[in-house]
Amino acid sequence: MKKQSNLPFILASASPRRLALLEQISVTPSQVISPDIDEIPLQGEKPKNLALRLSQEKAQAVYASNPNNFVLAADTVVACGPTILDKAETIEQAATYLKKLSGRRHRVYGGISLMNQDGALLTRSCETLVQFKPLSAIEIQDYLDSHEWQGKAGGYAIQGFAGSFVKYMAGSYSNVVGLSLYDTMKILQRGQYLK
């Protein structure tokens, strides 16, 4: 196991899932700061590019007011074909997403960015292919009633009941939860936060 640096380390995220994932690899931020950035996709922006750009902007925004710190940020984008499925904010939106994902494959793109204490930006991106089984109207309604979809990209949380919808997956499971642990370890080692 790699040894954590003693230098201050900030997780630039409001997601409790990302904090819990970091704890799985024994990385404990000294601070958690939620960045305030505009997350609207640019005209014609591809899902993979969006995830990477947003992770960069989050890391840079938090680093700007906290220089000389390590700052880790991430973003997750769910896409079905070219269509980006944002965080579900309403039950109607979540229902639309689940119907779209039913019986189909979709991709989950993760962008990870690290600002090191010298202000250098390091980035990584990853991609996970996920296939849902065909969902019945009852299954969709039961999931909507669970409220697990609230605020989740694509309208589902794989670490909850929606895990039972997954027929096939290729790539990082933790990426779908919110932070690829493999890629996070790699970027922390490359940025020399982990020795």
Catalytic residue among 75, 86, 118, 145: 75
Comparing CA positions, the residue from 187, 185, 177, 151 lying closest to residue 17 is 177
Give the burial string for 2-11 (b: 16+ CB within 10 Å, else e).
Answer: eeebeeebbb
Please indicate whether residue 75 is annotated as part of the active site: yes
Are 4 and 191 in contact by the 8 Å Cβ rule? The answer is no
Comparing CA positions, the residue from 11, 13, 12, 15 lying closest to residue 152 is 15
User: Which residues are catalytically annotated?
Assistant: 75
